[in-house]
Amino acid sequence: MKRVSTYFPKNDEVPARWRVIDATGQVLGRLSRDIAIALQGKDKPEYSRSVMTGDYVIVVNASKVRVTGRKRDQKLYYRHSGYVGNLKTFRLGDMLETRPERVIELAVKGMLPRNNQGRHMLRRLKVYAGESHPHEAQVVGFGV
C-alpha cells in the first residue's frame, strides 16, 4: 500500500503577491474579513497556520468605506495612555473623517491572531484614504 504524506509548505515556497482592494462603498466588517483572509493566506491551497502564506494588501479609498445601522454615531474607540484619568474615546464618525485608514487597520487587527505572526501580517497591510498609493512597482511586477 502506497503511503501518502502531507505537504507542509516552507517559508520561502509560497510567494507573496500584492493585492489592491478598493474600499469604495464596501461595508467595513465584510471588507475587513476579506482583508484578514488575504493577509493570513486562508484562500490559498498552500495555507498553513505556522507559515506566512498570506499576501500584501493595499487598500485604497478608505475614506469611502460604508458602515450600516447607527454605528457611525454609536460605535466608540478607546485609547488609554496608562496614566490615571487619561482614557480617550472617539466616535466612529469622527475617526472616519480624520483618520479613515486607522478604522480599517483596527478592524483587521481584531480579526488576526494575537501573536508575533499576527503582528507580522498586519505590517503587510497598507491603507490609504485616497486613490493613489506608492506601491505601483510591486503591484505591476505581479501582474495584478
pLDDT of residue 141: 62
Residue 143 has pLDDT above 50, yes or no: no
Return phi, psi of residue 105, to 5°: -60, -40
Instruction: Tell me what the mean pLDDT of segment 2-26 comes to.
Output: 90
Asked if 34 and 108 touch (Cβ cutoff 8 Å), the reply is: no
Residue 144 has pLDDT above 70, yes or no: no
Residue 129 has pLDDT above 50, yes or no: yes
CATH 3.50.50.60 applies to domain 18-68+99-131: no
Closest CA to 135 of 43, 16, 45: 16
- Report residue 123 as a C-alpha cell: 505590517
Count of Cβ atoms closer than 10 Å to residue 142 Cβ: 13
Closest CA to 125 of 65, 62, 59, 64: 59
CA–CA–CA angle 22, 25, 26 (5° rounding)? 70
pLDDT of residue 8: 87
Q: pTM for the whole thing?
A: 0.91
Read off the pLDDT of residues 58-110 as tens digits, 9 standing for 90 and up: 999 999 999 999 999 999 999 999 999 999 999 999 999 999 999 999 999 99
Name the average pLDDT for the chain: 93
User: In b/e form, how buried is each residue of 28-63, taking b as 16+ CB within 10 angstroms?
Assistant: beebbebbbbbbbbeebeeeeeebbbbbbbbbbbbb
